[in-house]
Structure 1
Amino acid sequence: MPPTALKGTPVVGGIAYGPALWPGERPAFTPDSAEIPESERDAEAKRFADAAAAVAGRLRDRASASTGVAAEVLSATAGLAEDRGWVGAAKKLIAKGAQAPAAAIAATDEFAALFTKLGGLMAERVTDLHDVRDRVVAELLGVPEPGVPVPDTPSILVADDLAPADTAGLDPALVIALVTRLGGPTSHTAIIARQLGIPCVVAVADLAEVGAGTAILVDGTTGVVEIEPDEEQSRSRVDESRRAAEAAATWSGPGQTADGHTVAILANVADGTSARAATDHPVEGVGLFRTELAFLDRADEPSVDEQAALYREVIDAFEGRKVVIRTLDAGSDKPLKFVSQEHEPNPAMGVRGNRIASVHPDIRTHQLDAIARAAENASATPWVMAPMIAGAGEAEEFAAEVRSRGLVAGVMIEIPAAAVLAPAILSKVDFVSIGTNDLTQYTMAADRMSAELAAFTDPWQPAVLNLVANVARTGKELGKPVGVCGEAAADPLLACVLVGLGVTSLSSAPVAAAAVGARLAQTSSDQCREAADAALAAEDPEAARTAVAAILL
């Protein structure tokens, strides 16, 4: 590594060179010692509520103009701005005389401490909550909302961390790479960077040393950030990377290795809009249809007819092709407004995903009815899978519900117990899909948003790959498909490893499909298996990457 370089965790491959761009300053507020007179406190509380509603409205407008993961995370962030607990805490402070901006800050501090203590997925929301706080304070002070400035020239966005609202609306022609001091390989920043198709490196210590405007070179494959490198050499590396990306972009499918072994290349989508956009990429169908978007922004449960119409949009976008629908993955950090849930001390391991059906069975029943209705007269039968399955009993019960409606039944493998019990689970269902984001977090007992633990939450972890290998081996023995729909499926080198382990389909952000398909097309089945063996034998993610690169590059 060059002496004037920083090292982080690589997330999205590619090379970018340009000036560092830091986000704009957050609004500063210094409260004075005077309390709000009692006669003005109701008006001050209304002023706060109006500001929070205005921020939520703008975030929802941006969600409506976005697709896929960007729309999902913007909607979830808008929900934070109107969270009853946070708004209520601020109003209580105002009722005691606090100024609205001071109340917003104090209430945020209170909830941020709580979220951090809870850990897991709730800790991930702290960055989002701070972002909402700053936007509400800016609204109250009458100053511009904080966020990412629009650069005059293509630049590399560097930050301690980035909220979804910062990253979701980025123009990849102007923001050509992302580098953060915090965050992990499966953070919102990483996922959206992959959706945008720009290099991304996270968990870069000492990033504060990089001043605004400093020329840097970002290598999203190795995780190295070079400071003020040789300009000519840097531009040469960028050109070489661009040529490789352009060559990969010409790949049009179908998915297969150099010796003709078939691997389905599929898309992750969230709604009809993102599904239709995915058809512009060389994908063969949908490997993960996240259905949460229809629920998260609702005060009441959407009707069967409403859901069926939404699901049919995705089915129609891929008429006659494979569509895998994941049932509602809510709870934890994605609470449903129309479901009352008790406070959970550790929500990341609480009532989420399929577990909601044990408390509110009608929600899953209605959703399966809606999927069945959406599938009527369709030219291909949808595949339906449940998230957060831990054992064979749950899998069997879910499969019976799905099959009774004439649909193809599967489950997600994202809990280590499910990976260990793959033979029992696969005997009950028609297919499985491995969600590597949560599987990595739970396997390594590491919060995926922790910069200090970013190496643990790297999907290249040999322990995680060994679990994937167990599931894939079982699938081959039983003759049942085993897919991967986590972010690991979007990494071209890791995709080859997964295929070498026996994975039969790869589903990711559509923008990643061409690079993954092109890499597989250049790689034989034997090379994939050799790469898989090397990754399994490695001691850590960096060693695994190095060993696989030596074989495939």
Structure 2
Amino acid sequence: MSTTTTLRGVGIGLGVAQGPVARMAAPLPAPADAPSTLGPDAETARVQEAIGVVARELEARGAQAGGSARDVLEAQAMMAEDPTLEAEVATRITAGKTAEFAVYDAFASFRDQLTAVGGYLGERAADLDDVAQRVIARLRGVAAPGVPEPGHPYVLVATDLAPADTALLDLDQVLALVTSEGGPTSHTAILAREKGIVAVVGTAGALDLADGDTVIVDAAAGVITVSPSEDERAAAQRRADARSAAASAPLTPGALADGTAVPLLANLGSPDGAAEAVALGAEGVGLFRTEFLFLSSNTAPTVAQQRTSYEKLFRAFAGKKVVVRVLDAGADKPLPFLNDAHEENPALGLRGLRALRASEDILREQLTALAEANAAAAADGEAADLWVMAPMVATVEETEYFVALAREYDVKTAGVMVEVPSAALLADRVLAQADFASIGTNDLTQYTLAADRLLGSVASFQDPWHPAVLRLIQSVGAAGAALGKPVGICGEAAADPLLAVVLVGLGATSLSMAPTALADVRQSLLSHSLDDARRVAEAALAANDAATARAAARAAAS
């Protein structure tokens, strides 16, 4: 592109950056279906060596990256060595295929099966493509397609990024990220927030950009300006400088312009991220995901193993609120010790609290470990303000069940996640039983719009700005206000600086997000009073679709 033009997508955060484009390398061409000249034994040995090297490389990248990237990459490594895939590859090699074609064809077949299943497993299909490319590249003795290295800072443009690529981006070289696919809750968007990368995803026309094109990436507006004028570039630089200055300003508690407190909390996937979260201004933890203890094992962790991790977290946030979500797994994330039965539609199956009720001993052990960990920290004067919540609560009866069970273990503050529309519609009755509610906007959007949040073909529906989702959030906020119960937001929506204002206007009393999003959200809240937030929220509610709601809120906030 050589003339000034603009492209639009979904911005992640408030950042702005500019620089030359460097495009992601194209995938390797498919291997030809030619007969092997080496024989089955030699081809099998080649495959085993290549898969082993790729799996170990993915594990090493995960260990280096940490955070949610580690979980994704470890899952990819396990996928590479899946026994079912190994058997599929072996069948093709026995039939006389080359190692390259056997891997290509077997992985493609398995990918199609995962796509058909949908849900968590469907989302893994894209990761499977990346694993296959890496194995085939190893077999061919060439570099795997990946992030370019032009030798200077650049704006990375891609269809989308594999987790292995996103995890180890050189932030000294990658100025911004632009993808043609993905939505606000895609892996790329989540990892961009986690790393603080300026990003615009789901950008129509992104793949028309050429290497060397100069662009301004404006995440706040969700706009890419191609071949900008000198004035536009200077204005973008002033904004970037102002944002840097704001980020380095002294940390203050989250609040609106009129002094209304809005605690800003961190979403964490393991205790390892605690120090960084505190350094970035987290006032506590609004969502501690406990799955990291369970997903990499064939057996449930012991009470002692869990207690060690929880105690580390509580000590890091001594005296501060820490909201722990009990295990959120089930048929969409099969665990052999919980529920690995095949389900036609796992997103609507035995997951979250449903799965835990079916294996109550696991839930009881988790509550035991949490209580013991905080008691141990309290003995040294380092206890956290422990709140515990259940995922995927759909009914008042489920709320009563979980709160009663938590009380048996002396959990003083027991709540529920509102991710299912039924819980939002009955929020007054749910909150009559629970001490608090935390809205998981990712799943709430998925179930409200009937759009699998991990399925790229319906990514356009997965937008928490949709007025239907906002109405449900408003109903929970109103119930919380009427009953004097806290209502937090712990989904990705809380990390959107403008949407954060809307959420407060709808009744949210705290916001939890990836720690790198805290500075932008803090700055955004300080620009609006509570009356402003309510007015901006009403403007968004009056819209008929997500895009119009976002535009209406932006106009009302300016």
Match for residue 19 of structure 2?
A: 18
CA contact (8 A) 1:411 1:429 kept: yes
Identity within the alignment, %: 46
Match for residue 34 of structure 1?
A: 35
Greater shift, 183-192 or 322-331, is seen at 322-331
Match for residue 221 of structure 2?
A: 222
Are 1:514 and 2:519 an aligned pair? yes
Match for residue 212 of structure 1?
A: 211
Are 1:274 and 2:273 an aligned pair? yes
Out of 470, 476, 486, the residue aligned to residue 475 of structure 2 is 470
Match for residue 260 of structure 2?
A: 261
Cα deviation digits, residues 366-398 of structure 1 (max 9, x gap)? 222221221113323411111111111112111
Separation in 2, partners of 1:530, 1:312: 42
CA contact (8 A) 1:63 1:74 kept: yes
CA contact (8 A) 1:20 1:212 kept: yes
CA contact (8 A) 1:20 1:213 kept: yes
Match for residue 290 of structure 2?
A: 291
Aligned positions of 1:75-94 closer than 5 A: 75-94=74-93
- The 3-state SS of whatever aligns with 2:136 is helix
Structure 1 residue 167 displacement after superposition:
0.7
Structure 1 residue 202 displacement after superposition:
1.6
Amino acid at match of 1:145: A
CA contact (8 A) 1:395 1:429 kept: yes
Runs of 5+ consecutive residues of structure 1 not aligned to the other structure: none
Are 1:489 and 2:494 an aligned pair? yes
Match for residue 542 of structure 2?
A: 537
State the aligned residue count.
550
CA contact (8 A) 1:20 1:211 kept: yes
Seen in structure 2, the aligned counterparts of structure 1 residues 331 and 235 have a Cα distance that, compared at 3 Å, is farther
- The 3-state SS of whatever aligns with 2:65 is coil
Root mean square deviation of aligned Cα: 2.1
Structure 1 residue 178 displacement after superposition:
1.4
Separation in 2, partners of 1:14, 1:315: 32
Match for residue 380 of structure 1?
A: 384
Match for residue 67 of structure 1?
A: 66
Separation in 1, partners of 2:151, 2:4: 30
- The 3-state SS of whatever aligns with 1:306 is helix
CA contact (8 A) 2:495 2:521 kept: yes
Greater shift, 497-506 or 240-249, is seen at 240-249
Structure 1 residue 282 displacement after superposition:
0.9
Seen in structure 2, the aligned counterparts of structure 1 residues 144 and 465 have a Cα distance that, compared at 3 Å, is same
Seen in structure 2, the aligned counterparts of structure 1 residues 301 and 153 have a Cα distance that, compared at 3 Å, is same
Out of 375, 394, 397, the residue aligned to residue 393 of structure 1 is 397
Match for residue 152 of structure 1?
A: 151
Seen in structure 2, the aligned counterparts of structure 1 residues 452 and 94 have a Cα distance that, compared at 3 Å, is closer
- The 3-state SS of whatever aligns with 2:261 is coil
Match for residue 416 of structure 1?
A: 421
Are 1:162 and 2:161 an aligned pair? yes
Separation in 1, partners of 2:139, 2:17: 38
Seen in structure 2, the aligned counterparts of structure 1 residues 133 and 388 have a Cα distance that, compared at 3 Å, is same
Runs of 5+ consecutive residues of structure 2 not aligned to the other structure: none
Out of 427, 430, 433, the residue aligned to residue 432 of structure 2 is 427
CA contact (8 A) 1:17 1:235 kept: no
Structure 1 residue 232 displacement after superposition:
4.5
Separation in 2, partners of 1:141, 1:53: 15
Cα deviation digits, residues 486-545 of structure 1 (max 9, x gap)? 111111111111111110110001111122112212211110111111111112222222
CA contact (8 A) 2:331 2:341 kept: no
Greater shift, 132-141 or 543-552, is seen at 543-552
Structure 1 residue 166 displacement after superposition:
1.2
Aligned positions of 1:332-343 closer than 5 A: 332-336=331-335, 338-339=337-338, 341-343=340-342
Separation in 1, partners of 2:284, 2:339: 36
Separation in 1, partners of 2:492, 2:69: 15
Structure 1 residue 5 displacement after superposition:
2.0
Seen in structure 2, the aligned counterparts of structure 1 residues 354 and 249 have a Cα distance that, compared at 3 Å, is farther
- The 3-state SS of whatever aligns with 2:462 is coil
CA contact (8 A) 2:50 2:138 kept: yes
Separation in 2, partners of 1:410, 1:49: 48
Structure 1 residue 192 displacement after superposition:
0.6
Match for residue 111 of structure 1?
A: 110
Separation in 1, partners of 2:533, 2:255: 12
Seen in structure 2, the aligned counterparts of structure 1 residues 351 and 50 have a Cα distance that, compared at 3 Å, is farther
CA contact (8 A) 1:20 1:215 kept: yes
Seen in structure 2, the aligned counterparts of structure 1 residues 53 and 352 have a Cα distance that, compared at 3 Å, is farther
Are 1:549 and 2:551 an aligned pair? no
CA contact (8 A) 2:146 2:165 kept: yes
Seen in structure 2, the aligned counterparts of structure 1 residues 429 and 60 have a Cα distance that, compared at 3 Å, is same
TM-score by length of 2: 0.93
Structure 1 residue 315 displacement after superposition:
1.0
- The 3-state SS of whatever aligns with 1:427 is helix
Structure 1 residue 450 displacement after superposition:
5.1
CA contact (8 A) 1:7 1:204 kept: yes
- The 3-state SS of whatever aligns with 1:375 is helix
Greater shift, 27-36 or 126-135, is seen at 27-36
Amino acid at match of 2:436: F
